[in-house]
Amino acid sequence: MFDDFLLRALVGGLGVALVAGPFGSFVVWRRLAYFGDTLAHSALLGVALGFVLHVNLTVGIVVICQLLAILLFASQRQRQLASDTLLGIFAHGALSLGLVTLAFMDDVRIDLVGYLFGDILAIGSADLGWIFIGGGMALGGLLWLWKPLLAITIHEDLARVEGIAVDRINWLFLGLIALTVAVMMKVVGMLLVTSLLIIPAATARRFAVNPEIMALLSSLIGCGAVALGLYGSFQFDTPSGPSIVVGACLIFILAFLVPGPGSKKALSRN
Amino acid sequence: MSEPLIQLNQVNLELGGRVLLENVNFELGAGEILTIIGPNGAGKTTLLRVALGLQRPSSGQVKLQRGMTIGYMPQKLHIDPTFPLTVRRFLSLACQNQLEKVLPLLAEVGAGHVLESSLQTLSGGELQRVLLARALVREPNLLVLDEPVQGVDVHGQTELYQLIGRIRDLRGCAIMMVSHDLHLVMAATDRVLCLNRHICCSGTPESVKNDPAYVELFGRQAVEQLAVYVHDQNHQHDHCADCSRRSCNVR
């Protein structure tokens, strides 16, 4: 039963889940879910860019995600529009622009569903390379920024007074998230990327006593979701990306049946 | 006299067409406690942010003494409930995990019992004490406290102000704080700066509380209530030049 494509899918999926754990934790802590969604929505524009410029599609996605991250960071300094309004404009604007651009290219036929919901079973060795090199870089970068990022997550001004270069670290962090999102695209698709970031992290919260354990647990839970989803997809012939997300949701629900250390403390406190 | 820790020179700040600070001048010397009071929207927090270098003024100069360490206690701490953070970790983030430093500090501010508690479960008073301990971790020359007694009951407020006074006496650090409760702070400060976008009046607590600008700003009733707390009959009227020229009413 371990065909090549299935093994590649599993390895790629596990790799993505490992990277998604720590990033997802920060996304949850800093309430960046919508931000991740916006980056993912822009990916189709990246695909279109790849076709137009005849470059690797993943390169196109990475470039567009990075550009959008820069644009978002810069535009958050204005105070005219609330940031979720702004994100909504960028998310749907970028998605629609991507679809329209692709429609202009008569000779291009892409598997739109594959981009929207992921196609983990079609992962090739090149994709695996992207996942492990790109994802590894993102993870390495995050570890390097870990402590200052925690301080910024607690209180930006406090971090600034204590001498942390808040703006520069936020820039880098958004760039790393953009890279992660681009890498995750292949596995769960642009519409489901955020779910693989936040569901494992939300599940891990009840069992985590410190940020590091939460990040690690998120990775493990994500791996469980990938394994579960792949198995289900193979067994019942269901689409792989949504199956993984359903797997993550199942673990999330099941986790509520297990008493965690956090829940006991919360109860006794009340 | 030694060089002041902080010096603000004709600082103006305008954001989005609104004037937030107007021609603010003051300096803060070593070991001095300066309290900024004023009504809501007077720009107290903004002034702290400008003094800390977190907000660039539209014009004017902000000079901080070189090599000075600042301990900062922000007004609010919003930590998402999903962020697993104990008091121990919160404090050790500021000092490379030197726990032997953290424990005595926490005891000093009277919050030793919450070391292993999660930050989100602390009461208002406990959180303020933990924030104060965090501000002290790096052994500052200057403590900047933004409404340090916020969310604390009246009894706890008195205690906290006494604690702040003790911290200055023990450590000799200067303290700059924001407050809008008038009576409690009077006892624990050397100098008061009464702010309503511009500086209405400033001086010792005694001189400020009798200043017409102060009375106008806070209303006679509040001031008379204050008299109950500060037993003082032999006051002198000490007008500052700025007040006669400008109305201090909230515009």
Task: Encode pLDDT of B206-219 as tens digits.
Answer: 888 778 888 787 77
Among B83, B89, B178, the residue to mutate for chain A (most A Cβ within 10 A): B83
- At residue A72, the pLDDT reads 85
- Looking at residue B221, its pLDDT comes to 59
Q: Region B46-52: what's the mean pLDDT?
A: 94
Q: What is the pLDDT of residue B238?
A: 41
What's the confidence (pLDDT) of residue B242?
Answer: 42
Residue B244 pLDDT more than 60? no
All domains in chain B, ordered by first residue: 6-69+140-225 (3.40.50.300)
Please provide the average confidence, as pLDDT, over all residues in chain B: 83
Q: pTM value? A: 0.86
Per-residue pLDDT of chain A (270 residues; tens, 9 = 90+): 457 888 999 999 999 999 999 999 999 999 999 999 999 999 889 988 888 888 888 889 889 989 998 888 888 777 778 888 888 999 999 999 999 988 888 777 788 888 888 888 888 888 899 899 999 999 999 999 999 999 999 999 999 999 999 999 999 999 999 999 989 988 888 889 999 999 999 999 999 999 999 999 999 999 999 999 999 998 999 999 999 999 999 999 999 888 766 544 444 443
Whether chain A has a CB inside 8 Å of the CB on B97: the answer is no
Residues of A in contact with B72 (CB under 8 A): 157-158, 161-162
Residue B35 predicted with pLDDT over 60 = yes
Of A256-265, B187-196, B232-241, give the range with the top mean pLDDT.
B187-196
How close A194 comes to chain B (CA, Å)? 17
Enumerate the residues of chain B whose CB falls inside 8 A of the CB of residue A30.
80
Chain A residues closer than 8 Å to B126 by CB: none
What secondary structure does DSSP assign to B140-202, as a single string? -SEEEEESTTTT--HHHHHHHHHHHHHHHHHH--EEEEEE--HHHHHTT-SEEEEEESEEEEE
At residue B239, does pLDDT exceed 50? Answer: no
B chain contacts of residue A201, beta-carbon cutoff 8 Å: 82
Tens digit of each residue's pLDDT (9 = 90 or more) over B151-180: 888 888 888 898 999 999 999 999 999 987
- B54/A161 CB distance under 8 A: yes
Q: What is the ipTM of this complex?
A: 0.83
pLDDT at B231 over 50: no
At residue B224, the pLDDT reads: 61
Taking only Cα atoms into account, the Rg of chain B, rounded to an integer number of angstroms, comes to 19
Query: What are the sequence ranges of the domains in chain A?
Result: 2-189
- The alpha carbon of residue A239 is apart from the nearest alpha carbon of chain B, in Å, by 31
Domain boundaries A2-189, corresponding CATH code = 1.10.3470.10
Is the Cβ pair B54, A214 closer than 8 Å?
A: no
